[in-house]
Amino acid sequence: MTRRKLLSLLGLTALASSGGVAWATLSRSRNPYYQGPVTDHFDGLSFTDGRPVTKGLIDIWKWQTSKREREVFPAHYPAPPQDKPPARFDGFRIVHLGHASFLYQVAGLNLLIDPVYAQRASPFSFAGPKRVNAPGVAFEDLPPIDAVLVTHNHYDHLDLATLARLHRAHKPRMIVPLGNDTIIRARIPDARLEPHDWSDRVALSDTVATTLVPTYHWSARGAFDRRMALWCSFIVEATGTKIFHVGDTGYHDGSLYERLGAEHGPFRLAVLPIGAYEPRWFMWDNHMNPEEAVKVMLSLRAEQAIGHHWGTFQLTDEGVERPPEALKVAMAEAKLPEERFIPMRPGLNWTA
């Protein structure tokens, strides 16, 4: 592997060029994104979800340079026709935009979660994982966007160019975990940013609210800002219906989702990642596989689930169709009907 390719993988660039905080700032010993009181998940410098850091640059090098069983994505993976959402929707209507991006239409409110319209999930426009299908809703067909929710700052979830475009077109509120506001404000100084901590409940309208809750993951925009911005999952609730939305997570021992299911469940729907999980020795602690996603659905006491984080950008080694195939096997082994957990394609919608 060339030095440039490894740097591309790690995102080792002057973050100012991609809309982040200047590279020189990240070399300092202080946190460049957030300063706040010490808590049970912030030690004054970095955030934690209670697990130790188990992987570093040496492990990335080992993964990228070892003999690998990698199935390469096709240049184009056809998706269903693009959705044409209504301007407003009274109940729940959720459209998959691709990878981890969704449009939520909830009780007359329009929300985007982790919107990424970029052609690459990367700090670069010329390198990194490339999109193999179009977004499930064309940008021009988006309804008026009231709020954007961002789960964490990885490039396949926080796309500054898309957020800037949304700000120009819609001026939405942006609900983000602590520290992510600094990253966005460097690119969009007048963004309507609202940073929040875990357990914060945010009213989005008179009838719609979201709560930020923990997840087993991490954050970084480059090599020296690991865990310096917070990450989260979102609970979206309205009219007596609750949906649990995970952008990225590992499974760990599953206890977190048992607790969240007991505290906040049951849920009408869980929106869960099912891709980016191979090789397991490297990915297991931060990206769950389909078998673990089924366990999370059950722990959350979710009536149904839809699976995302597959089929658009190749981030890891499994082939483009392996996640839905593995999900089908996992549901059969759990003796559950396939229709209870649907692997979502861009352009498809779920309504309630």
pLDDT tens-place string over residues 233-243: 999 999 889 99
Residue 344 maps to which CATH number? 3.60.15.10
Distances (CA, A) of 333 to 48, 50, 342: 33, 31, 16
pLDDT score of 22: 38
Q: What is the pLDDT of residue 231?
A: 98
pLDDT of residue 66: 78
Mean pLDDT of 287-304: 98
Q: How many CA atoms lie within 13 A of 218 on its CB side?
A: 20
Number of domains in the chain: 1
Instruction: Quote the pLDDT of residue 312.
Output: 98
**Residue 27 vs residue 286, higher pLDDT:** 286
pLDDT of residue 125: 87
Rounded mean pLDDT of 62-70? 79
The confidence score (pLDDT) of residue 250 equals: 97
- C-alpha to C-alpha distance for 319 and 77, rounded to whole angstroms: 11
For residue 296, is pLDDT > 50?
Answer: yes
From 25-29, 228-232, 257-261, 342-346, the region with the lowest mean pLDDT: 25-29
| Residue 97: pLDDT over 90 | yes
Distance of CA 205 to the CA centre of its chain: 23
Q: 18 pLDDT exceeds 60?
A: no
Q: Determine the pLDDT at residue 4.
A: 42
Please tell me the predicted confidence (pLDDT) of residue 165.
Answer: 98
**pLDDT at residue 110 in the model:** 98
Range of the domain at 75: 3-351
pLDDT band with cut points at 50, 70 and 90 for residue 39: very high
Residue 105 backbone phi and psi in degrees, to 5: -110, 110
As a whole number of angstroms, the distance between CA 352 and CA 350 comes to 7
Average pLDDT, the chain: 91
- The answer on pLDDT for 2 being more than 60 is no
Please tell me which residue, 17 or 102, carries the higher pLDDT value: 102
So what's the pLDDT on residue 64?
Answer: 80
Q: Residues 337, 241, 352, CA angle at the centre, nearest 5°?
A: 60
pTM, whole model, 2 decimals? 0.91
Under 8 Å CB-to-CB from 152, ≥6 apart: which residues?
Answer: 158, 177, 180, 217, 218, 219, 229, 230, 231, 232, 247, 248
Q: Which of 200, 202, 172, 210 is nearest to 188 (CA)?
A: 172
User: What pLDDT does 26 receive?
Assistant: 41
pLDDT in tens, 127-166: 999 999 999 999 999 999 999 999 999 999 999 999 999 9
- CB count within 10 Å of CB 89 equals 19
